[in-house]
Amino acid sequence: MSALIEKSLTEIHAMLMAKEVTVTEAVKACLDQIAKSEPETKALLAVCNEEALKQAEEMDAAGPDASKPLWGVPVVIKDALATKGVPTTAGSKILEGFTPFYDSTAVAKLKEAGAIIVGKANMDEFAMGSTTENSAYQTTTNPWDPSRVPGGSSGGSGATIAAGQCYAALGTDTGGSIRLPASFCGCVGVKPTYGRVSRYGLIAYGSSLDQIGPMTRTVEDAARVLNVIDGHDQRDSTSADKPMEDFVAALEERKDLSGLTIGLPEEYWGEGLSAEVSEACRSAIAKAEELGAKTVPVKLSMTEYAIATYYIIAMAEASSNLSRFDGVRYGHRTKNPQELADLYTKSRTEAFGDEVQRRIIIGTYVLSAGYYDAYYRKAAQIRRLLRQDFNKAFESCDLIAGPVCPTTAFPIGDLTSDPLQMYLQDIFTISLNLVGMPGMSLPVAMGKETNMPVGLQLMAPAFDEKTMLQAANVLEKNLPGLPKVKL
């Protein structure tokens, strides 16, 4: 049974379809690994034991269904996505006890494709954080080294993959929250183009930034999940009305990287980048060149303003989005309030964590009448210049490559007392959210100093996930790969 949890999604699906293993066996293997690893990893906020086993038995009785691309595959969902009948808290006390009566579109599509949900992943409260230390319930650890963070805010999703608890997980990426934990946990993480995957049913942090994407063991696995969750949704006004693509089939179209030009932004390779991350990423770029890719320098001159721009816009949107959590309609309500204002104030103060309160206050400040023009409007203008930067860069290259994060996973507690240093962990990832373009993290090596995974970030023009996934697939097949986590 333990050998099953080491399989990729593609491998386990093929075994299920060939009846080499039953759905019940696959689900039990994941549930057993969850029981074994959760006391230390703490990746999950809910485990769907009975529901998953019941569904598995029903599917085994019915037999394999070739029309369902994820038939029988156990998956985990980030707790920011509404899941019918399963508690959904966004990692916050204010939503403790909330059980949705509907599925988010991404979750519904996974179910329609035959996937079985075995758990809900821990996360930074309302996706606000880079380490999953801001969860109101527990701190997730990194399966490669439990003394280190798994990244965030989708740290539970990254850790559950690394710990062998499932074959795919959904995360959300507002400023790098899929790519950062994918890099820290040594898995593949894809942030699609804004609008490619429906946000319906996602508990919003920054509505113009949030995007749902897959976290998996391999590039092909990620392509399979993206195939399923891709597509226009009339219930989401930000959903792009674009034809669906077959990303799995596209992988077979490219066997090397000849004819591909990769841009290397000097702003991503300079001061602050650790030597081990630089060496690992440069080695991967060198391998891309061996495989036929051409590399060219590109300029992303607005990068130095990206952090300030992102946090002004993200916090402003958070201030607006989180105003609905007021102690009246659902979630936590303070006891014995004196009046309505007291109800609002105490409910939110008691149930929101420090980081969430900090971002709401700053967001409210930058949207206030006296400061809107000085902060929010200026940030929106710089956002437009960032998009121009990327569009200009993509005139001379097909993809842009660089590190995901300046460092590998750092020890738990290292940056919790310094929010500004914590925010700087997103320096290489936030720009893509501001411009709405796709990006991904591909594990390329173990850092020589920390012996922790290093992810290479690949970035593509809007709606060109195909080229990005093709290049990542070729690289993955030609790199040595990471050692196995001790499961």
pLDDT tens per residue across span 295-342: 999 999 999 999 999 999 999 999 999 999 998 987 899 999 999 999
> Mean of the per-residue pLDDT values for the chain?
96
- Is 269 part of a structural domain of the chain? no
Buried b (16+ CB within 10 A) or exposed e, 247-261: bbebbeebeebeebe
pLDDT recorded at residue 348: 95
Exposure of 271 by Cβ count < 10 A (0-12 exposed, 13-18 middle, 19+ buried)?
exposed
- Is 423 part of a structural domain of the chain? no
- Is 152 part of a structural domain of the chain? yes
Residue 201 has pLDDT above 70, yes or no: yes
Annotated catalytic residue within 92, 177, 183, 441: 177
Residue 1 has pLDDT above 60, yes or no: no
Q: Please indicate whether residue 78 is annotated as part of the active site.
A: yes
Number of domains observed in the structure of the chain: 1
pLDDT band at 418 (very low <50, low <70, confident <90, very high): confident
Structure token digits, residue 395: 């005139």
**Rounded distance, CA 389 to CA 436, Å?**
13
Task: Give residue-wise pLDDT tens across range 434-455.
Answer: 999 999 999 999 999 999 999 9
CATH number, domain containing residue 173: 3.90.1300.10
Annotated catalytic residue within 153, 239, 319, 347: 153
Containing H/E element for 443? Answer: strand 439-446
**Rounded distance, CA 123 to CA 177, Å?**
10
**Rounded distance, CA 474 to CA 296, Å?**
19
- Is 103 part of a structural domain of the chain? yes
Query: Are 69 and 9 a contacting pair, CB within 8 Å?
Result: no
pLDDT recorded at residue 232: 97
pLDDT band at 271 (very low <50, low <70, confident <90, very high): confident
Exposure of 334 by Cβ count < 10 A (0-12 exposed, 13-18 middle, 19+ buried)?
middle
pLDDT band at 353 (very low <50, low <70, confident <90, very high): very high
Residue 265 has pLDDT above 80, yes or no: yes
Query: Are 435 and 209 a contacting pair, CB within 8 Å?
Result: no
Query: Are 472 and 188 a contacting pair, CB within 8 Å?
Result: yes
Residue 423 has pLDDT above 90, yes or no: no
Task: Please state the φ and ψ torsions of residue 464, each to the nearest 5 degrees.
Answer: -110, 45
3 state SS of 269 = coil
Concatenate the DSSP letters of all residues of 369-432 into one string.
TTTIIIIIIHHHHHHHHHHHHHHHHTTS-SEEEEESSSSS--BTTSSTT-HHHHHGGGTTTHHH
Nearest to 230 by CA among 218, 216, 213: 213
Q: What is the number of alpha carbons within 13 Å of residue 296 lying toward its C-beta?
A: 15
% of residues, the chain, pLDDT over 90: 94
Q: Please indicate whether residue 153 is annotated as part of the active site.
A: yes
pLDDT band at 227 (very low <50, low <70, confident <90, very high): very high
Structure token digits, residue 429: 């990832």
- Write down the H helix ranges in 42-113: 49-62, 105-112
Q: Please indicate whether residue 67 is annotated as part of the active site.
A: no
% of residues, the chain, pLDDT over 70: 100
| 396 preceded by a cis bond (ω within 30 of 0) | no
Concatenate the DSSP letters of all residues of 24-40 into one string.
HHHHHHHHHHHHHHHHH
Residue 487 has pLDDT above 60, yes or no: yes
Exposure of 283 by Cβ count < 10 A (0-12 exposed, 13-18 middle, 19+ buried)?
middle
pLDDT band at 28 (very low <50, low <70, confident <90, very high): very high
- Is 317 part of a structural domain of the chain? no
Containing H/E element for 319? Answer: helix 306-321
Task: Please state the φ and ψ torsions of residue 120, each to the nearest 5 degrees.
Answer: -110, 130
pLDDT band at 272 (very low <50, low <70, confident <90, very high): confident
Query: Are 435 and 211 a contacting pair, CB within 8 Å?
Result: no
- Write down the H helix ranges in 104-162: 105-112, 155-162
Task: Give residue-wise pLDDT tens across range 69-99.
Answer: 999 999 999 999 999 999 999 999 999 999 9
Residue 38 has pLDDT above 90, yes or no: yes
pLDDT recorded at residue 459: 98
Nearest to 475 by CA among 450, 441, 452, 446: 441
Question: What residue numbers bound the domain in which 457 lies?
Answer: 2-257+439-478
At residue 179, what is the residue type? Answer: R
**Rounded distance, CA 212 to CA 197, Å?**
6
Annotated catalytic residue within 7, 28, 68, 78: 78
